């Protein structure tokens, strides 16, 4: 493999790593904000706060889906560059239509196991807390 191809693949790999890192950070921020909102609801005794806890869950789920979509597109670009002839290496980081597959659609990324197994339980937890607070008459 030529030095040019290796460098191009390293550039793409750096972006893939950054997308995965951003995804991890979003998950930790989501948990932090939901916990903070619940702490406020206990302190101020207002029922509106638990409902506000849905906002970071939904917002970060959508944002995390965007990063997963980009990560998958860059993985397809990586695979494309890996298969290219040495003379066709142009160091382009542009996502082309051929890098968009069924697996990179927003819907597919939104409902991917990595997203659903994290954000759905968060949403269920927020719902359980809201119901508990309503039942207890807080």
Per-residue pLDDT of 63-113, as tens digits, reads: 999 999 999 999 999 999 998 888 888 888 888 888 889 999 999 999 999
User: Is residue 57 within 8 Å of residue 80, measured between CB atoms?
Assistant: no
Tell me the pTM: 0.86
């Amino acid at each position: 493999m030529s030095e040019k191809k290796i460098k191009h693949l390293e550039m793409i790999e750096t972006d893939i790593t950054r997308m995965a890192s951003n995804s991890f950070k979003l998950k930790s921020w989501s948990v932090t904000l939901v916990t903070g909102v619940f702490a406020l609801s206990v302190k101020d005794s207002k029922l509106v706060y638990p409902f506000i806890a849905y906002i970071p869950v939904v917002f970060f789920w959508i944002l995390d889906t965007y990063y997963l979509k980009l990560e998958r597109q860059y993985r397809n670009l990586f695979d494309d560059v890996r298969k290219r002839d040495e003379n066709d290496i142009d160091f382009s980081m542009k996502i082309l239509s051929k890098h968009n597959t069924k697996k990179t659609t927003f819907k597919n990324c939104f409902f991917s196991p990595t997203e659903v197994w994290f954000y759905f339980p968060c949403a269920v937890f927020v719902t359980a807390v809201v119901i508990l607070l309503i039942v207890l008459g807080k």
